Structure 1
Amino acid sequence: MPRTNAAALEFLKTRRSRPAKTLAAPAPVREELEALLTIAARTPDHGKLEPWRFVVIQGESMEKLANAAQATAEKLGYDTEQTAKARSQFDQGICAVAVIESPVISEKIPAIEQTYSAGAVCLALLNAALASGWGANWLSGAISHERGFVEGTLGLTPHERIAGLIHIGTETNTPPERPRPDVKAKTTWL
């Protein structure tokens, strides 16, 4: 019989992201963020390629990214609502970690498995932040896939892309529970 970790299972059964727009200061300090990043790095990674990296965004960098997001959106012809949305997560952000998918050329490990690893890092970071008592949310948005924006503001190279922006801060209110998938309807037993 396996040993269960009841507290961890209860956390996973009840975990709930906190909308980024409801997060406020304070945010984790550097040492706390480093601990969360260390936890996130303990993720499935076939071949130990570490096909991801982190960019921590705080303080004045949020305003710079908001302005750059707006400028990029306007240059690309986004409408007013799309432009406001592109800018808003940085306007409202306190602290975010951009998880950058940085694939490694490998004859053994398919690129898709490296993408999955970067996604697993996002979820691990999100859960680590929530388990540590912070509010957190995993976002991306159309602007995070615009090459000029990500290369110009976050220093991504042409082969990299944003897997997710994990916003972390102090929870200001607990969101209501939302409908969850019907696992029986989504499962086939062979």
Structure 2
Amino acid sequence: MSNSRIEQIIEEIEDYIDSCKGPLFGGGDKIVVDRERMEELLRELRMKTPEEIKRYQKILANKDAILADAQQKAEAIIAQANIQNQELVNEHEIMQQAYEQANQVIEMATSQAQEILNNATRDANEIRLGAIQYTDDMLANMQTMLQDVVEKSNSHYSAMMDNFQQFYNTITSNRAELAPETEEPAPQETSEAEEEAGQ
């Protein structure tokens, strides 16, 4: 940073003093100066002082503003970082809760699915056993009905064959009475075909 004008004027005054000579009749620290030159330097120094002070004040004010702005930005960054950190913490907690809830839902769904499967298997077994029992009952009823039909058919057939035999015997007897001289062949016993039919 370059020196200010006040510093330059002070240096000029110092250089000027160093260049001045002492009085002819005297010694010590006394010197002879050019009044006009000295007043010119002092006048310029006096004029530059308020200007330099204002410039330094402005720099100081800017410095304070810069520091305040930097402080504000730093606080904003810290606040934003805290917010993001809190959001990350909240997000982690939310994810953790969601994960736990998902596990609970999965466990519940698995349990319900297993229960449904067990109930369906039990119902299917009960239906199968019921169908087998129903079919067996129906077959048993049909077996009983067929056995009854067979027994009744055999009984009716035997009675019918007896009737036929009696009717045959009656016809044979009647013919014998109508023509006693005609030798009629003796009535044969029931043929093998008839016996097989009766069985």
TM-score by length of 1: 0.18
Higher Cα Rg: structure 1 or 2? 2
Name the structure with the higher strand share.
1
If asked which structure has higher relative contact order (CA below 8 Å, sep 6+), I would say: 1
Name the structure with the higher helix share.
2
TM-score by length of 2: 0.18
